[in-house]
Structure 1
Amino acid sequence: MPTNTAPVKWAQRSDSLYVTISLPDVKDETITLTDAKLVFTGKSNNNEYACDFEFFKGCKAETSTYKVLPRSIQMHIMKAEEEEEFWPRLLKDKAAEKNQVKVDWDKYVDEDEEEEAGGFDTSGLEGGQGMMPGMGGMGGMPGMPGMGGPGGPGGMDMEALMAQMGGMGGMEEMMAKMKNDLENKGGGEEEADSDDDDLPDLEES
């Protein structure tokens, strides 16, 4: 089966790239991101697709994320800190860029409009996977959304769960105390009622 070139579109901000592989219902995907390259293989509608791109400048693979969605694969790729500026193109190879990559006009902004436009909306990538250099889609990145790595939401969830459990124990003790108080109060009322019953006898005598 011949391998087709995966259709890719992109947009950028000074600190990051937003890359979309426009394929629906992707299966058996392999995504490998390094600080210099993006390599993808996968199947869509029983056809095989691939791309092997060398970026125009350096990226930070360890802080980049991606998510496989029903209609596409979307990636938020962070530029290397020393490269935080607008790039003239996505790929180092001009010919490959012309033949394989398109601008994502839905996310595109001019460099002088970036401050007004703000950063990318990455809400659709929540729960996505982190990408470690050369390791493809590896999750568990520290502090990454939805990753559950050290210092990430997973650790905080456990602490919150323990606190909640402790709070439940305290609630049980409180309920038990209230129950005892009510029983004691009830007993006192019964004694008071019995005293009241005795009063008319005293008056009659």
Structure 2
Amino acid sequence: MSRHPEVKWAQREDKIYITVLLADAKNPKVNLEPEGVFTFSATAGAENHLYEFKIELQDKVNVEESKINIGVRNIFCVLEKEEKKWWNKLLREGKPPHYVKVDWDKWVDEDEDNGPPSDLDLGGMDFSKFGDMGGMGGMGMPGMGGMGMGDDAMGNDFDDSDDEEQATKPEESAPETIIEKPKVEGEAAEGKAQAS
């Protein structure tokens, strides 16, 4: 009997972010079809339990432009939408299963998405490069053997909420991410006392 990993999702006008939270996944297989069918399977844990799921996304995706990163704690996917438009829900039919949740750390509302976000640099790993590997249709990922993926190869440890910040290149940071520290009243009073 298989289990379901926790899955988080968020969207932009042109992308869907899917994060599969599964630490130390072994033999991960990810399949993305242009019609929007996303399939995942891997084993994890001391007893090598099988984790898998299949979801049918609301609309079509561009497999060639989509990217994936397999980290120590999760598998992070950036799915490029075929058509740049906001989806009113993730799945084509019905409500998302209980293990699929909104990723509020990456979520941006439609009216707040004023320009391209600073996207993650996944080292050029795209779905189309995995086309004939594994037995899961158009694109399989039969493990990490020799691909140089993970936190050591990428220089990042992609964990829960810091994925986007850790992988963003400094020169790509959006101006609104710069936060200036306001003066605290105590600091102003201390400055006056020293000037006296």
Residues 120 and 26 (structure 1 numbering): CA distance in 2 closer, same or farther, change over 3 Å? farther
Q: Scaled by the length of structure 1, what TM-score is found?
A: 0.60
> Post-superposition shift, 1:129?
2.6
Match of 1:161 in 2: none
Residues 131 and 92 (structure 1 numbering): CA distance in 2 closer, same or farther, change over 3 Å? same
**1:59-78 counterparts in 2 under 5 A?**
59-78=61-80
Match of 1:27 in 2: 26
Matched, 1:130 2:126: yes
Bigger radius of gyration among the two: 1
**Distance across 2 between alignment mates of 1:77 and 1:120:** 15
Residues 104 and 20 (structure 1 numbering): CA distance in 2 closer, same or farther, change over 3 Å? same
Report sequence identity in percent: 34
Structure 1 letter corresponding to 2:114: E
> Post-superposition shift, 1:39?
0.6
- Could you list the runs of 5+ residues in structure 2 that have no partner in the other structure? 132-137, 148-153, 155-196
Contact 1:131 1:137 in 2 (8 A): no
Structure 2 letter corresponding to 1:41: S
- Could you list the runs of 5+ residues in structure 1 that have no partner in the other structure? 140-145, 147-205
CA deviation profile, 1:126-178 (whole Å, cap 9, x unmatched): x2532126122499xxxxxx9xxxxxxxxxxxxxxxxxxxxxxxxxxxxxxxx
**1:26-65 counterparts in 2 under 5 A?**
26-35=25-34, 36-45=36-45, 46-65=48-67
> Post-superposition shift, 1:120?
5.0
Task: Report the count of equivalent residues.
Answer: 133
CA deviation profile, 1:99-145 (whole Å, cap 9, x unmatched): 231000000011000116x425313x2x2532126122499xxxxxx
> Post-superposition shift, 1:6?
2.3
Q: Which has the higher contact order (CA 8 A, sep 6+)?
A: 2
Residues 13 and 120 (structure 1 numbering): CA distance in 2 closer, same or farther, change over 3 Å? farther
Structure 1 letter corresponding to 2:40: F
Bigger fraction of residues in helix: 1
Match of 1:201 in 2: none
RMSD over aligned Cα atoms = 2.2
Structure 2 letter corresponding to 1:30: K
**Distance across 2 between alignment mates of 1:100 and 1:9:** 8
> Post-superposition shift, 1:98?
4.2
**Distance across 1 between alignment mates of 2:18 and 2:67:** 11
Contact 1:107 1:120 in 2 (8 A): no
Structure 1 letter corresponding to 2:120: T
Structure 1 letter corresponding to 2:27: D
**Distance across 1 between alignment mates of 2:75 and 2:55:** 15
Residues 121 and 104 (structure 1 numbering): CA distance in 2 closer, same or farther, change over 3 Å? same
**Distance across 1 between alignment mates of 2:94 and 2:118:** 25
